Structure 1
Amino acid sequence: MAPKLSIVIVEPEPERARLIVDALRDAGDFDIRVIAERSGLARQIAQRQPDLVLVDVADPSRDTIEELTLATGPLDRPVALFVDRSDAGLSAAAIEAGLSAYVVDGLTPARVKPVLDAAIARFRMMQRMRTELAETKRALEDRKVIDRAKGMLMRARNIPEEEAYALLRKTAMDQGRRVADVAEALVTAAGLLG
């Protein structure tokens, strides 16, 4: 059986919090915690380590969004922000801040589950994109250092590029290391000697 999805609800008003909790309980079997006090929000969320954070704010400002972003850790988990009204540009600011969902016109029980599902899906998609971007950047950096090392070997040994790469690859295999790590060591050593 899959573990229950843990959800933290940030809502200072007890009646609104109860409506949200009831809507979630009607929608599924979740581990739900309510945080009523925003002071120390980051610490409270860090202690609970929820799978998802749902925040209900009547009238947000850029400062509120920035504060909530820092506190809720939207790069660590999906965060859905429900607002009663929004000024121009706030939804873009919320998305740029990493929030997974920004829902205007308040929180109604019927909207809670679909919005949370969408927030989780968007978070997972963004997480995949961040991972792919990091892997691509690393591969590019690896490629650069390998090319530098090949160039150094080609000049030092007067060998063609294919032979230089084969030498790097053989050294990496002999040492049980990645080619990029061997190339980095060569470039670093040459920098120290040069």
Structure 2
Amino acid sequence: MRVLLVNDTEKPIGELRQALLSLGYRVLDEVAAAGALLKAVESQQPDVVIIDVDSPSRDTLEQLGVMNRQAPRPVVMFSADGDDQLIRSVVGAGVTAYVVDGLAPARLAPIIQVALARFEQQAHLRRKLDDAQQQLEDRKLIDRAKGVLMEKRGMSEAQAYAALRQQAMKQGLKLVDIARQVIPIADLLG
């Protein structure tokens, strides 16, 4: 497993690097500040990002948010700051495991495993949400196309649906693709 280390503190990160290496992780080039995080993630393609920080700055949270949108990865953050509002902000920025006051090498592997499991669960939920949103958008288009047929051709809703379905089967397309064709034509015809 490839690990990207981000050291946003004054303290050396050698102990963390050594602990990761002894656990069998491949440690990639270290990033000295969160500002270079997205570029490093895109170029080095880590499996997990570990950030060591005294207290995450607003810049760090912004960079994590950008990374989470453009190149999401599991993120483990070690910090000395246990403020409730900060923890909410950190989780909102995409951190999957936030550990306060404690970088014990013996706990490192389970913390990374929890972060990976949580990240996979979140990714699964994001995919389900995206699918549901797409289905809703498709349903709206189909309903709009049915409405066009009902208005222009005097069809009932069932007849309009049947006509769309028949055309989709005839052309070997999805129902929503036929709806996408019907709507602009109806707009063109007025």
Q: Which TM-score applies when normalising by structure 1?
A: 0.85
Q: Does 1:117 align with 2:113?
A: yes
Q: CA deviation at 1:95?
A: 0.6
Greater mean alpha carbon deviation, residues 78-87 or residues 49-58: 78-87
Q: Report the CA distance shift for 1:153/1:13 in structure 2 as closer, same or farther (over 3 A).
A: closer
1:145-160 mapped onto 2 (5 Å cutoff): 145-160=141-156
User: What is the alpha-carbon distance in structure 1 between the residues aligned to residue 84 and residue 59 of structure 2?
Assistant: 14
Between the aligned partners of 1:178 and 1:72, the Cα distance in structure 2 is 32
* CA apart distance, 1:91: 0.5
Q: Whole-Å Cα distance in 2 between the matches of residues 74 and 109 of structure 1?
A: 30
Question: 2:8–2:51: 8 Å Cα contact kept in structure 1?
Answer: no
Structure 1 regions of 5+ residues with no counterpart? none
Residues 8-64 of structure 1: CA deviation (Å, up to 9, x unaligned): 11126798433222322343x322114142253322222101111011112323333
- Partners of 1:41 and 1:66 lie apart in 2 by 11
Q: Distance in 1 between matches of 2:118 and 2:186?
A: 46
CA distance in structure 1 between the aligned counterparts of 2:29 and 2:123, rounded to whole angstroms: 26
Q: Which residue of 2 aligns with 1:66?
A: 62
> For residue 157 of structure 1, what is the amino acid of its counterpart?
R
The change in CA–CA distance for 1:143 and 1:13 in structure 2 (over 3 A counts) is closer
Check conservation: 1:53, 1:72, Cα contact below 8 A.
no
CA distances 1:156-190 after superposition (whole Å, capped 9, x unpaired): 22222222112111211222221011112111221
Question: How many angstroms apart in 2 are the aligned matches of 1:120 and 1:107?
Answer: 18
Deviations 1:77-126 (A, max 9, x none): 11111102233411100111111111111322122111111111111111
Q: Which moved more, 1:171-180 or 1:65-74?
A: 65-74
2:148 matches 1:175: no
Give the AA of the match of 1:193: L
| Equivalence map 1:1-194=2 (5 Å) | 5-11=1-7, 16-27=12-23, 29-38=24-33, 40-70=36-66, 76-194=72-190
TM-score by length of 2: 0.87
Structure 1 distance, partners of 2:3, 2:144, is: 49
Distance of 2:67 and 2:156 partners within structure 1: 55
8 Å contact from structure 1 (residues 56, 83) kept in 2: yes
- 1:165–1:133 distance in 2 versus 1, CA, 3 Å: same
CA contact (8 A) 2:54 2:80 kept: yes
